[in-house]
Amino acid sequence: MKISIQKEDFDLGVEVKAISGNPKIGAVASFIGLVRDVEMTLEHYPGMTERAIGGIVEEARTRWQVMDCSVIHRYGVLKPNDQIVLVAVASGHRGDAFAACEFIMDYLKTRAPFWKKEWSAGGARWVEAKDVDDKAAERWR
């Protein structure tokens, strides 16, 4: 199980390969989030971020078969089309891989301490949290 909060970019192929070594793994589902439209600065709470994501991954493991996973979230300055976040889950079968991947992403959105500040011609503004993200996370209760 890999959790990394980093400034650097990441490579999906490398991450998938790293979690697919076990011959019992029959499925890997992955999600990548990209920066839409405007440049942004991402801030996080070092220590708590890793801890929060670790807790989310542990919860996913109690619900589905998660044989390995990789969660990477970037911080710092990011430009349109840059990769922000990766969640990849390896499992025996696709159902568990898909579900765990979506669950981890939905919980990360509402529980991991990251904040986005967008920069546009009009100046800088902190992104507001969205109800739709809370609703997405509530589905899993």
Partner 1 sequence: MKVKVLYFASIREKLGRDAEEIELPAEVATVASLRSHLRSRGGAWEDALAEGKLLRAAVNQDMSQPTAAIKAGDEVAFFPPVTGG
* Residues forming the site for partner 1 (CB under 8 A): 33, 42-45, 47-48, 51-52, 73, 84-85, 105, 108-117, 126-129, 133
Q: Tell the smallest beta-carbon distance from residue 140 to partner 1 (Å).
A: 15
Q: Output 12 or 25, the one with its CB closest to partner 1.
A: 12
Q: Tell the smallest beta-carbon distance from residue 96 to partner 1 (Å).
A: 21
57 neighbors 3 (Cβ within 8 angstroms): yes
In DSSP notation, 53-74 reads: HHHHHHHHHHHS--SEEEEEEE
Q: Output 64 or 114, the one with its CB closest to partner 1.
A: 114
Q: Output 36 or 93, the one with its CB closest to partner 1.
A: 36
What is the token pair recorded at 132? 């739709």
Contacts of 127 (CB under 8 A, 6+ apart): 40, 115, 116, 117, 118
Contacts of 103 (CB under 8 A, 6+ apart): 56, 59, 60, 63, 64, 140
Q: Output 39 or 92, the one with its CB closest to partner 1.
A: 39
Q: Tell the smallest beta-carbon distance from residue 88 to partner 1 (Å).
A: 15
